[in-house]
């Protein structure tokens, strides 16, 4: 093979031979003009930001009102995750399973190498070392992303513990995720997000959108993470983590899975309603939880991320004041609109809709226009440190003990407001049979119900049947099992209006969850699980009629018969990998329904 045109510059940060060799190999393939090590320093951030502004990749927003905030406009064909172009490349197709796209690893490496070949000519390759998880934590994993995107380097600096600290933690070890990303020509025909779990490797080509290119997030922390979790006996989940402290000072930690753009960030940063004076919610994480059994037999969770890559539209001082505070400085906005005064704007922002804006594609926009000014999947990348409700435990290497796990889909019908599983296996069944209406976070039709088990359909890096079995098996190693719940904030009335107010009022449901965890209230047994007894769901001060509450919590047998059919189709797809214990749960429910 020809000698590399560009040599990897020496750095005082590392001389790790495995890392050097891999960077050399990638440079030989992609042929960048320059290679730049990222150290994660403030000075580096300033330098890269200036370069990005000069190149038109970032646009400064109004620096008086939004200090350190910038706007990035992505290519309009590249605004969401591309599930149909995301592949799990395991030697055997069955190991990726029927819910993932699969490519043979040799074929994938060859195909993508053709795209990567010379793809960084004239460009800089940034070496972005990062840690997912607190520094020095036994939960944490190290990754290095090679990217030609300055936007990726700057976002990774917010989303992960990036730079020198990662190389220090890595030392001379060969145990790191190898991520190679090239923006290419942003041609959807040449876009591939390929995972090679057996090599702890990710190759991403042809996109600049966060979920496809910030490789620590969905690719490492969920797809590769879930694969490693099964091998090593832990769980990588699409879950927020929050701590809730009672007026008596007792803190309980809860993890909750919701599909993309279904309010994880809002729930994780929730401010309880005025009836809950003295209660406090603190955010550990808003998107991903890594959970392991601790020495005391409890399940502990960390948030591997260091920032929030959140959906902007709908965020305001009513729905999420803590998110509003989090994005007020040092935030990168992607695909929002801009006011004439250089402020970011989006649908659902506080205040009047401006008469005139520049829309997310840089075009003039006038009030009343049928088109959205901000893209429905426009995003903020904000440092977790900005969050006024940040948990003091966020950097704890041991994580936080999880007492309850909540599964919640976006369902306009069928699924009641809240219920508790009868036991762990039933809880795994509730998670495994979750359905949800699709959102703008992924390309494709919005609002279609699909099965989205544990909100992991797009993120499970191996066979979904094996994943369910892994969840079932975890029971044996956890002495104090978290209680499992299912919620649905999104039920609609016959006029298509949401019945439950959601947002801060979800505290009322969370309070019942806590009461059940602590054994403070009894539940009412139904076909589906335990639900609040009459009067136990606290609706003090809430403007909701008895009838509406009854509708939000109702269980309609006809709807459940349809639901069970859809569950059956899903389980059939998994063939012999569908665990017997879950099939049995479905049969038992069917018997209860028909009994």
Q: Whose Cβ is closer to ligand OXD: residue 16's or residue 86's?
A: 86
Cα–Cα distance, 389 to 279 (Å, whole number): 12
Query: Considering CB distances under 5 to 8 angstroms, the limit depending on partner class, which of Mn ion, ligand OXD, none binds residue 204?
Result: none
Residue 458 C-beta: closest distance to Mn ion, Å: 9
User: Where do we find the tokens 């995107």?
Assistant: 149
Is residue 211 a contact point for ligand OXD (CB under 6 A)? Answer: yes
Q: In what order do the strands lie in the sheet with 332-334?
A: 59-60, 70-72, 332-334, 379-383, 307-311
Residue 544 C-beta: closest distance to ligand OXD, Å: 30
Q: Whose Cβ is closer to ligand OXD: residue 207's or residue 260's?
A: 260
Residue 238 C-beta: closest distance to Mn ion, Å: 6
Residue 534 C-beta: closest distance to ligand OXD, Å: 37
Which one is catalytic: 69, 89, 194, 262? 262
Query: Considering CB distances under 5 to 8 angstroms, the limit depending on partner class, which of ligand OXD, Mn ion, none binds residue 81?
Result: ligand OXD
Residue 435 C-beta: closest distance to Mn ion, Å: 17
Q: Whose Cβ is closer to ligand OXD: residue 170's or residue 241's?
A: 241
Cα–Cα distance, 540 to 527 (Å, whole number): 28
Please answer whether residues 555 and 592 qualify as being in contact, where contact means their C-beta atoms are separated by less than 8 angstroms. Answer: no
Residue 130 C-beta: closest distance to ligand OXD, Å: 17
Alpha carbon 48 to its chain centroid, in Å, reads: 26
Angle value at C-alpha 477, between 475 and 479, nearest 5 degrees: 85
* Helix %, strand %, coil % of the chain (to 5): 30, 25, 45
> Which sign does the torsion angle of CA 49, 55, 57, 59 carry?
positive
Number of Cβ within 10 Å of residue 540's Cβ equals: 9
Please answer whether residues 22 and 178 qualify as being in contact, where contact means their C-beta atoms are separated by less than 8 angstroms. Answer: yes
Residue closest to ligand OXD (Cβ): 260
Mask of contacts with ligand OXD, 400-439, x by CB under 6 A? ----------------------------------------
Q: Whose Cβ is closer to ligand OXD: residue 319's or residue 438's?
A: 438
Near ligand OXD by CB under 6 A: residue from 57, 112, 306, 441: 441
Q: Where do the H-state alpha helices sit in 409-505?
A: 424-432, 464-477
Mask of contacts with Mn ion, 282-301, x by CB under 5 A? -----x--------------
Query: Considering CB distances under 5 to 8 angstroms, the limit depending on partner class, which of Mn ion, ligand OXD, none binds residue 441?
Result: ligand OXD
Residue whose C-alpha is closest to residue 507's, from 259, 258, 268, 178: 268
Q: Whose Cβ is closer to Mn ion: residue 19's or residue 255's?
A: 255
Cα–Cα distance, 292 to 307 (Å, whole number): 22
Whats the size of the chain, residue-wise?
595
Give the footprint of ligand OXD on residues 341-400 (CB under 6 A). none
Residue whose C-alpha is closest to residue 46's, from 150, 164, 160, 182: 150
Q: Whose Cβ is closer to ligand OXD: residue 270's or residue 441's?
A: 441
Query: Considering CB distances under 5 to 8 angstroms, the limit depending on partner class, which of Mn ion, ligand OXD, none binds residue 467?
Result: none
Please answer whether residues 167 and 129 qualify as being in contact, where contact means their C-beta atoms are separated by less than 8 angstroms. Answer: yes
Cα–Cα distance, 303 to 287 (Å, whole number): 8
Query: Considering CB distances under 5 to 8 angstroms, the limit depending on partner class, which of ligand OXD, Mn ion, none binds residue 211?
Result: ligand OXD
Q: Whose Cβ is closer to ligand OXD: residue 260's or residue 463's?
A: 260
Cα–Cα distance, 577 to 505 (Å, whole number): 39
Whether 69 sits among the annotated catalytic residues: the reply is no
Cα–Cα distance, 435 to 431 (Å, whole number): 9
Number of residues in contact with ligand OXD under rule CB under 6 A: 6
Residue 99 C-beta: closest distance to ligand OXD, Å: 16
Mask of contacts with ligand OXD, 80-99, x by CB under 6 A? -x------------------
Residue 81 C-beta: closest distance to ligand OXD, Å: 5
Number of residues in contact with Mn ion under rule CB under 5 A: 2
Residue whose C-alpha is closest to residue 218's, from 451, 461, 447: 461
Which tokens is 129 given?
């070392």
Which tokens is 33 given?
């003009």
Mask of contacts with Mn ion, 223-262, x by CB under 5 A? -------------------------------------x--
Q: Whose Cβ is closer to Mn ion: residue 214's or residue 472's?
A: 214
> Which sign does the torsion angle of CA 556, 558, 561, 565 carry?
negative
| Secondary structure letter of residue 586 according to DSSP | H
* Binding stretches for ligand OXD (CB under 6 A): 81, 211, 260, 287, 309, 441
Catalytic residue positions, numbered: 262
* Binding stretches for Mn ion (CB under 5 A): 260, 287
């Amino acid at each position: 093979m020809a000698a590399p045109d560009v040599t990897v510059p020496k750095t005082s940060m590392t001389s790790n031979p495995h890392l050097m060799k891999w960077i050399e190999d990638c440079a030989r393939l992609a042929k960048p003009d320059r290679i730049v090590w990222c150290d994660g320093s403030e000075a580096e951030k300033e330098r890269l930001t200036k370069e990005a502004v000069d190149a038109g990749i970032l646009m400064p927003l109004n620096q008086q009102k939004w200090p350190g905030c910038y706007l990035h406009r992505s290519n309009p064909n590249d605004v969401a995750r591309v599930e149909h172009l995301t592949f799990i490349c395991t030697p055997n197709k069955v190991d990726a399973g029927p819910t993932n796209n699969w490519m043979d690893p040799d074929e994938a490496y060859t195909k993508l190498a053709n795209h990567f070949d010379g793809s960084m000519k004239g460009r800089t390759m940034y070496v972005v070392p990062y840690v997912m998880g607190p520094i020095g934590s036994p939960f944490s994993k190290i990754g290095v992303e090679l990217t030609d995107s300055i936007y990726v380097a700057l976002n990774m600096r917010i989303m992960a513990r990036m730079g020198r600290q990662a190389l220090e933690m890595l030392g001379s070890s060969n145990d790191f995720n190898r991520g190679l990303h090239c923006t290419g020509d942003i041609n959807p025909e040449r876009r591939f997000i390929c995972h090679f779990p057996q090599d702890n490797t990710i190759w991403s080509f042809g996109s600049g959108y966060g979920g496809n290119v910030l490789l620590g997030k969905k690719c490492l922390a969920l797809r590769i993470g879930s694969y490693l979790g099964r091998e090593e006996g832990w769980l990588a989940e699409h879950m927020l983590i929050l701590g809730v402290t009672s007026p008596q000072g007792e803190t309980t930690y809860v993890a909750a899975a919701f599909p993309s753009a279904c309010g994880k960030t809002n729930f994780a940063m929730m401010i309880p309603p005025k009836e809950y004076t003295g209660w406090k919610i603190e955010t550990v994480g808003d998107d991903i939880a890594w959970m392991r059994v601790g020495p005391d037999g409890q399940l502990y969770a960390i948030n591997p991320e260091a920032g929030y890559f959140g959906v902007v539209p709908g965020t305001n001082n009513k729905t999420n004041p803590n998110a509003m505070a989090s994005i007020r400085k040092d935030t990168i906005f992607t695909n929002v609109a801009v006011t004439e005064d250089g402020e970011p704007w989006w649908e659902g922002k506080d205040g009047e809709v401006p008469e005139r804006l520049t829309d997310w594609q840089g075009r003039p926009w006038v009030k009343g226009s049928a088109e959205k000014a901000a893209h429905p999947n426009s995003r903020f990348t904000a440092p977790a440190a900005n969050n006024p409700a940040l948990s003091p435990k966020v950097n704890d290497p041991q994580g936080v003990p999880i007492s309850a796990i909540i599964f919640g889909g976006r369902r306009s019908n069928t699924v009641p407001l809240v219920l508790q599983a009868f036991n762990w296996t039933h809880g795994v069944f509730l998670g495994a049979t979750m359905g949800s209406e699709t959102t703008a976070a992924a390309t494709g039709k919005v609002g279609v119900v699909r099965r989205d088990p544990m909100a992991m359909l797009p993120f499970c890096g191996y066979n979904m049947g094996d994943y369910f079995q892994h969840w079932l098996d975890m029971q044996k190693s956890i002495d104090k099992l978290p209680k499992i719940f299912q919620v649905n904030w999104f039920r609609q009335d016959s006029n298509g209006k949401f019945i439950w107010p959601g947002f801060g009022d979800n505290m009322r449901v969370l309070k019942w969850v806590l009461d059940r965890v602590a054994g403070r209230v009894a539940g009412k047994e139904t076909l589906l699980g335990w639900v609040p007894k009459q009067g136990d769901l606290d609706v003090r001060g809430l403007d909701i009629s008895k009838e509406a509450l009854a509708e939000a919590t109702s269980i309609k047998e006809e709807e459940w018969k349809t639901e069970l059919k859809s569950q059956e189709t899903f389980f059939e797809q998994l063939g012999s990998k569908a665990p017997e214990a879950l099939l049995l749960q479905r049969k038992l429910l069917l018997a209860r329904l028909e009994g």
